[in-house]
Amino acid sequence: MKKTLKVILFVFLGLVALGVISRLTGAKAAGKEAVAQTSNNDSAEAELKKTYTYSAEQLMAEYMGNEIRADETFKGKEFWVTGTIKDIGKDILDKSYITLNSADPIRSVQCYVNDKQALSALEKGAKVTVKGTCKGLMVNVLMKDCKIVPN
């Protein structure tokens, strides 16, 4: 009985060791795949950026022309917006944002950015590109979860 218990314990420990070894080698292979995917994703992202980048003026013109159509096209979608910084500030909830100039003297594209360090490096009048998700028109066209990206 003791001998059978030892054999079962030995087999169990061997299986555990094999599982750990295969898990470690699988993680290394997955890491190599992730690096390959990252370089592929970078080029795919560059292609997407070419196709899905809008100027702040274009975005505002779409919303001013037909808010319903603009919501169908942009609302809830992630894309890039380029423009000239009109203002850098915080809203009443202490959330940091930049606004981008548009042809409308009152309305602009308001981009909420969580990275305060990136915002502190910006200046009014600078050209910038942000990537974020459009939330629609609420006086300004709102973009949430924005990141400042290189031009």
Query: Do 24 and 59 sit in the same domain of this protein?
Result: no
**Same structural domain for residues 45 and 109?**
no
| Crossing angle for the helix pair 67-74 and 56-65, to the nearest 10 degrees | 130
Domain that holds residue 93: 53-149
64 and 40, same structural domain? Answer: no
Give the model confidence (pLDDT) of 87-119 as tens digits: 999 999 999 999 999 988 899 999 999 999 999
**Which of 53, 93, 89, 92 lies closest to 74, judged by CA?**
53
Cβ–Cβ < 8 Å for 136, 71: yes
- The answer to whether residues 47 and 57 belong to one domain is no
**63 lies in the same domain as 124:** yes
* Averaged pLDDT for residues 29-54: 57
How many structural domains compose the chain? 2
**pLDDT average, residue stretch 55-79:** 96
Task: Check whether residue 71 and residue 135 sit in a common domain.
Answer: yes
Predicted structure pTM score: 0.69
